[in-house]
Amino acid sequence: MKGLTIRLNGDYLAHTHSIEQGNCARQMISVQGMEMVFYSMPQGVQGGFQELECPGETEAYYILSGRIKLLPQGEPEITLGPGDIFYFTENETLLPFHVLDPLQMILFSNESRFEQDAETNRALLDVMEALQEIDGDTRMHCDRVRKLAMRIAREMNYPASGLHDLFFAARFHDVGKCKVPKEILIKPARLDEKEYEMMKEHAAISAEMVRPVFGDEIARIVKEHHERPDGKGYPEGLTATQIHPAAAIIAVADSYDAMVTVRPYNKGKTPTEAAVELRRCAGVQFDDKCVEALCCYLQRKGLIKSEGRGNA
């Protein structure tokens, strides 16, 4: 029959995989400006739906199985399941999500996004392979910092337009550590002055590694995540008003995770002890508003008591 095309089950046009989470995406239809993509995501994946880039672009998602929680900025969380549909017509920022149960869904779009996403995945592969060269905790640390940074941003009512950059900057803020000698990176003792200077180079290296994939703005955030309000940070010694707000958020999330994580050379602080330390350094080493946002989140989750003072 003229105009009829049939593709049998599993006969997809192309397929790609998310580098970090192992998610599966398969392009089912791409013809005359219309696209249909099948997505499969395992339980526990946290990510974000990207903003639409083309005027008049529309994306609709139909959930086949599983459950997903949408986390719109400044609005109640939304849980969706089989048969539910959500769609975007003017999505101008990242929409965070959390997969509650193994998820399968279909994307319908009037613009081709699959090839663009595949190109991004290929570029991200280089970044992720660099992270794989580091000790395993660095990669997990980056993921924990990403999740915590997004929580801090929600507590602060951080501008929705900046969530995309914060998300990816936090995810890859330490990728440059792959260039730091491993004996320094995992040394089970305090670094000497020369070793510390070598370690400090990772911020600028990370920025240059992510720049080709994500651009100048995210590279700037990554570079500044060790700057301090008092000007004693690195690599450029910026002061409070010069530091990118997203970098200030990552700095707090980064330090908190470093304090509470148990390592061979660090028994780890309790959440209360870490909160006390962050508050002690607020306004000097860390942005005070970011510190308070984190403490409010920890208190609401029951991880610290009111004010986060005293011993756990």
Q: Give 10-residue mean pLDDT values along the chain (312 residues).
A: 82 79 86 90 87 84 97 89 94 85 96 79 73 74 92 91 90 91 84 94 95 93 98 97 98 97 82 97 98 96 72 39
Quick one: tokens of 287?
């942005």
Q: How much is the pLDDT for 263?
A: 75
Q: Which CATH class is domain 14-119?
A: mainly beta
Provide, for the chain, the percentages of residues in helix, strand and coil under a 3-state DSSP scheme, each rounded to the nearest 5.
45, 20, 35
For the record, the structure tokens of 170 come out as 């936090």
**CATH class given for the domain over 133-308:** mainly alpha
What SS3 state is found at 299? helix
Residues of the chain with CATH 2.60.120.10: 14-119
Q: What is the pLDDT of residue 310?
A: 43
State the pLDDT at residue 307: 60
Is 223:202 a contact under the CB 8 Å cutoff?
Answer: no
Residue 190's pLDDT is what?
85
In whole angstroms, what is the distance from residue 3 CA to residue 137 CA?
Answer: 54
**Sequence-distant (≥ 6) Cβ neighbours of residue 17 within 8 angstroms:** 23, 24, 25, 121
User: Range(s) for CATH 1.10.3210.10 in the chain?
Assistant: 133-308
Task: Give the phi and the psi of residue 70 in degrees, each rounded to 5.
Answer: -95, 140
Q: Please give the pLDDT value at position 62.
A: 98
Which residues partner with 40 through β-bridges?
A: 24, 104
Rounded-to-integer distance, Cα 149 and Cα 145, Å = 6
Structure tokens that stand for 178 in this block: 């792959």
- Could you tell me which residues are beta bridge partners of residue 15? 26
